[in-house]
Structure formats: structure tokens, C-alpha cells
Structure 1
Amino acid sequence: MASVFRLAAVQLAVSANKAQNLERAGALIHQAVKEGAKVIALPECFNSPYGTQYFAKYAEKIPGESTDFLSRIAKETKAYVIGGSIPEEEDGKYYNTATVFDPEGKMIAKHRKMHLFDIDIPGKIKFKESEVLHPGSKFTTFETPFCKVGIGICYDMRFAELAQIYKNLGCKLIVYPGAFNMTTGEAHWEAIQRGRAIDNQLYVATVSPARDVDATYIAWGHSTIVSPWGDVIAKADEKEQIVSAEINLGRVDEIRQQIPISVQNRKDLYEVKLKE
């Protein structure tokens, strides 16, 4: 396995025009590959506005228009493409779903957001995905020639157990397409990412839509890549852009060896002997 590769996060300016969103995403993926990226990730709801009023209107079956597009772009660029997420419809139910395509254009993973974004902060924001969406129920990882990668979507990031499971499954990178808002984004977006990276001694990348102050839901932006040491090694502002960084898998192994914290390495602390 190659020990170093470039990861790119595409912070896309998402509009209400699905065709334009796909066209723009494709152009930015091509640009990221020209700049050396081997794995490229798009944001949550990259093909549509984010909001409960939009999910059913923009929902697609998988395969469908947006996933066909992702397959074609992955094949054209010979890159791994993490398709952020799209509203998915199956059997009359709606999901917030990420798909992943390999350099041959084959879909190799599909993750339905497990933890729906239901919050109520008086005077600031109230939002309930569960009014429209159903949660996923499966952990999602995929293999690359570089490492195993885990996938979560936005609110999934708040659940430390999910990241720990991915670490124990052998992941060295977790990618979270997400759209934190102007309240929780400033307070928690970077802090949570750094915590997940430090706790699990792996790389964490988050991919947000660019900020649109005229949208009904305003995203924080600030797509970020964090090292297993907790350093922010790439970070966007609020505008549309590509941010990328080298993922050095040797650094993961080095930190895990220097500071052993996994259950596997510290069985002495976790093996409880029951006395009669």
C-alpha cells in the first residue's frame, strides 16, 4: 500500500439548480485531480439545497442521476470520489445518503446518515431531519490502495462511538460530509473533528457546502482536514474552494506506537476477572 496520498475536500457553492450543482462539482473534482488528489470528497447535500422542505423534492433513487454522474466523474478522473450526500428515496422513505465510487466508476460504498439532525436551541435554531428522513443503520467503510476509510454524515460526527468503531475496524481516515450551521459551526465544528482525530489517532476530514447567506439554512463552511495528532493541516473559509492535504499513513502508525491507547494495546486495563 502507498503510505502517502493527497485528499481533497470540495467546498461547493450549492444552488437550487441540480444540473448546475452537478456540473460545478464535476469541474472542481477535475481540478482537484489535476492538483494531485487521489481521493476527493463532496459536501453533504451537494446536489440540492439543505432543508426538510427540499429532501422529497430533490430525492433520487440509487442508482439515479446524481450517482450516475459520480460514477462517470470517478471513471474520467481515475480517482476515488466520495459523493458527499444526496436525498435518497427508496420504497417511499427518504434518507440522507453518501455514495463512494472507485477509479473504475464502480459504487463501492453507500452510507445512510445514522444520527438524524434533530436539535432545538431556543432563540437560535430548531431543525428536525426526522420530520422527513429515516436513519440508516449500518456502519460504512471502504478499502483503497492507501487505507481503509470510514464514512459518517454531519451529525454522525457528534457520536464518538462511531469513530471508535471505525478505528477498531482498521480505518486510518474518517470523512464526514457535513453542513453545520452558524450556531453550532463556530462553537463545535473544529473542536469535534480534532477530538475524533486525537481520540482515535487517525485523520479526520469534514466537507461542508460553501456559505450562502440567502439560503434558508446557512452553512458554516470551513471544510477541514485534521491529523492524528490533532493538528489542522488544511482549512477553508466560508467561500467555495478546494482544500487538500497529504495523508501520511506512517504518521498514524507512529502516533499509535508512541501513545498506545487502543483496547488491543491495553488489554491489561480491560480484562476484568470475575471472582466467585
Structure 2
Amino acid sequence: MWGIIPAAGRGSRIQPLAFSKELLPVGSRTEDGVERPCAVSEYLVERMILGGADKICFVISPGKSDILGYFGDRYAGAQIAYVVQPNAEGLCDAIFRASCVVGATEPVIVGLPDTIWFPENALESLPDCPLSFLLFPVEHPEFFDAVVLEGDQVREIQVKHRSPASNWVWGAFRMSASGFRDLKALWEIRGRSDEYFGTLVNSYLAGGGAALGIKAGESYVDVGTLHGYRTAMTLLLSRQELGASRLMSKRQAKLTPLEAVALHGADT
């Protein structure tokens, strides 16, 4: 399974930065007994691997070669590929540019690299169906894409709506191979006009498509603002104190998933 990470955005809300916002240091990891800063996007990569991804595709802009330099070709046993989005033309364009590496029978999961959420293994709850969303409760859903449900069926995505009908927002989503193809085909039929994934999904639902909303998320922070950055640091500290947050060390990142599990078992 592929994990697709759209990382071509300019990050204007938290500028000026001398590096890509996806490499913003948030929290830390232990490397050979020494505590090191951790890039915000590492949290998503780890969660995707826990969710079953064995390949990661970063969709980057031409000026973001520092992401390639940071992650290289592997992370915790997962292979990493890079696809270039020449211009910032929205989330849908970024996601479907990864179609050049995604195989015809491979499912995908998609997440945003400047977010931190818990629980870490929440992606495991997403079923193997054409489209399913991992949902999180937030205090201000008007800043996100709110998901309106009927039972567990998605009825509408309210994109940054002033008065959303739900306080549950999507933080990541999964598409089967057929779901990925169908949504890409619909996006192309609509003239590639959808900047936001939510508007494309609404058209998909109106045309008879179905999507599930899974309320498995507990906490969700957008780190793309200074307020969000401070909130993320507080959240990570509280989770670490509870023993609930542990990023893979660089030593583990060089191992296959089975080797990493064996190492963790030996350490405990």
C-alpha cells in the first residue's frame, strides 16, 4: 500500500522559514542515546507505516529538495519515492500526480504532513473499501473539512464552512485501487477544476459513490500556524508523559518492519 503525502504547499501561514515547512522541528526522537529534533512530517510517515503502508510518495514542489535530502529513499523499512508538482494547483492535483507510481491494484492512504494526531495507529481502523475517512473531533471545524455523516456513511464534506453541521473533520483517508482510479477519472471529467478534495468527493457522492467516516481519531492539530505549533508541542508533551508517544529511532528506521518489531521486543 502507498502512503501519499502532498508536500508542495508554500506554507505561507508560518513563514518566514529557511526550509520546507514539512521539516519544521516538532518534538524529538532518541538517536543512539541522544535526543534529536524531529520533523513534523515524520509523525505522518510513522502513522502511515503503522497503518500498513510499505511505500511512501512525497509530492513536492521543485524547490523542496530538502525533503528528499532529509528522508532519502527509505524510512523504517518503507521505500520512499518523490513526484514533482510544478505549480501549487491544489490537493487533488497533488494526490493524483502520484498515479505515476501507484500500481493498478494498490490501495493508497493520504494524509497531511503538517498535522499531528492521535492515536498513532488510527489508520488501521480504515476498512478496505473504495473510500473511507479517518475522522477527528475538533473545537473549530470551520477551519477544516467537516464531514457530515448518516450512521457511518458520508453524506457531505463541508469545506471550510462558516457554520458546519459537524465537528468531525477528516485527518486522513484511504482509497482502494478502484476508488483511486474512479476519483481520478471523475476529477479529470470535471476538468481538473477541484482544488479541494472535499468538493470532488461531494460530486462523487452525488453520482452514486459511497464513502465511510470512521470516528477513530482522538486529537488533531494543524501545525501550519504558530498557534498550532504551540498546541502540538503541548499535545506531544502530554502524550509523552502518558507514555503514549514514541517515534521510531533512526536505528529502527534502517530496519525492516519485522526487524524493528523484533528489536522493540528485545528492548522490552
Same fold (TM over 0.5): no
Q: Point out which structure has higher relative CO (alpha carbons under 8 A, 6+ apart).
A: 2
TM-score between the two structures when normalised by the length of structure 2? 0.30
